[in-house]
Amino acid sequence: MLKGLKNRGFGVIFVLKGKGKGKGKKKMIKWLIFIAIYAIVDFYSFQAIKTVTKNSWIHYLHILVSVVVVGNFIYQFTQASDGRVLSPEKSYAFGFLLTILALKIVIVPIMFSEDVFRGIVGLYNKVFSSNDTFHLPSRRKFVSQLALGLAAIPFTSLLYGMYKGKYNFKVLKYTLYFEDLPEAFDGYKITQISDIHSGSFDNKEKVSYAVDLINEQQSDAILFTGDMVNNKATEMLPWKNTFKKLKANDGIYSVLGNHDYGDYVDWDSAEEKQQNLEDLKSIQKDIGFDLMLNESRFIEKEGQRIAIVGVENWGAGGFKKAGDLNKAKAQVDSNDFKILLSHDPSHWEKQVIGDDYHYHLTLSGHTHGMQFGIEIPGWIKWSPVKWRYKYWAGIYKEAGQYINVNRGFGVLAYPGRVGIWPEITVIELKKGTNNV
């Protein structure tokens, strides 16, 4: 049954408990409470619509949509699931429920406030007038129009996020300067992608477009910073041939994210879980990814080199801490120019910055920018995820070291994006100091 929200992935996924336990009394009571709350919220939104228009077909349409959305949600979330991360079907059920609730929740406080005011006026008239009966004043049309107008903003935004936002890929380009960058790598370009979450894909044409867009950047290397799947390795199988098209002269390097270990599936045995991880490793190899498990690689040009260091997932709080920085850097000299791949930006904050080795550039993902926020370059960058992660999107610099937190390629839970778009990052490394 629906247990609630749990801080996994970028922080917002539904977790299903009690799979296969039947329809117990406790489960039924929780669903009845949910339906009752939904009905109350729906009642108030209906009052606004009735006040604005007397068209009965619009009234019936509102009721029909409300019933279909909540009915589909209940149906989807009472079905068995392969994992605790939402399937596309459950994601869309959740997304449509969230969208319609956003509409109604904006309306409710406005309509309720008007009802309080109407009640006060009605009581005043009964006490201080000659009228012996209590009478509520009529609803004011302009109040309902205001409520519906304001509610339309999150409603249309969330619908757009599901229809267009999830595949609204943006190429973000940065130029970073380093005094100790080897001269042979002056102008070296890398493309970072992160958080593919193939279990949430539902449009091969759009995903193929994004892969082509990555290749169009003509970067020297492609670096993937984890979370290829949601629950199981099999989620990537339909997309293998698409991602096989990725090309880079100096290779494609990758690490694991928290979702790649199969931790969100109730496996029948430890062996089955381990086999899932081995299958994912094999898939990455087949695609052409060089997966680094607390390892390092060197890219050499003209007798000079840079190190690509890849750690397994390390996340603050309850996330897996398989990352071993000491093991990963064992073959790396402290004077090497180093690019670190680490899925969770909390690793950079908690361990990397203070490490004896100087990691010039760390690439992370994980947060998704919560797939919701407001970004106007040069003006504002905000998302609720900032209250969970200090470093949540874009380039940051601390102690002479950089990190880029990629906003993610795919989606999780809510099947869309609003204001925080799917990201392909292109970083050009330049030798010297930027005095601009």
Tokens coding 28: 């039924």
- Calculate mean pLDDT across residues 307-329: 96
CB 225 within 8 A of CB 343: yes
User: pLDDT exceeding 90 applies to what percent of the chain?
Assistant: 81
**For the chain, domain boundaries:** 2-163, 169-431
Which band of pLDDT confidence, cut at 50, 70 and 90, is reported for residue 16? very low
Identify the pLDDT of residue 125: 78
Q: What is the pLDDT of residues 86-95, one digit of tens each?
A: 889 999 999 9
- Mean pLDDT over each residue of the chain, to the nearest integer: 91
Identify the pLDDT of residue 15: 41
CB 266 within 8 A of CB 19: yes
- The predicted model scores a pTM of 0.90
Give CA separation, 126 vs 115, 122, 138, 240, 397, in Å: 16, 6, 15, 73, 66
Identify the pLDDT of residue 12: 39
Which band of pLDDT confidence, cut at 50, 70 and 90, is reported for residue 5? very low
Q: How many Å is the Cα radius of gyration of the chain?
A: 26
Give the residue from 326, 331, 332 showing the smallest Cα distance to 355.
326
Give the residue from 70, 149, 198, 160 showing the smallest Cα distance to 371.
160
For domain 169-431, give its CATH number from 3.90.1150.10, 3.40.1160.10, 3.60.21.10, 3.80.10.10: 3.60.21.10
Which band of pLDDT confidence, cut at 50, 70 and 90, is reported for residue 427? very high
pLDDT at 271 > cutoff 70: yes
Identify the pLDDT of residue 23: 53
Between 393 and 433, name the one with better pLDDT. 393
Give the SS3 label for residue 213. helix
Burial class for 434, CB neighbours closer than 10 Å (0-12, 13-18, 19+): exposed
Q: How many CB atoms lie within 10 A of CB 283?
A: 22
Identify the pLDDT of residue 392: 97
Which band of pLDDT confidence, cut at 50, 70 and 90, is reported for residue 44? confident
40-54, 208-222, 342-356: least confidently modelled range: 40-54
pLDDT at 1 > cutoff 70: no
User: pLDDT exceeding 70 applies to what percent of the chain?
Assistant: 93
pLDDT at 236 > cutoff 80: yes
Give the residue from 315, 425, 414, 343 showing the smallest Cα distance to 372.
414
- Calculate mean pLDDT across residues 64-80: 94
Which band of pLDDT confidence, cut at 50, 70 and 90, is reported for residue 262? very high
Q: What is the pLDDT of residues 184-208, one digit of tens each?
A: 999 999 999 999 999 999 999 999 9
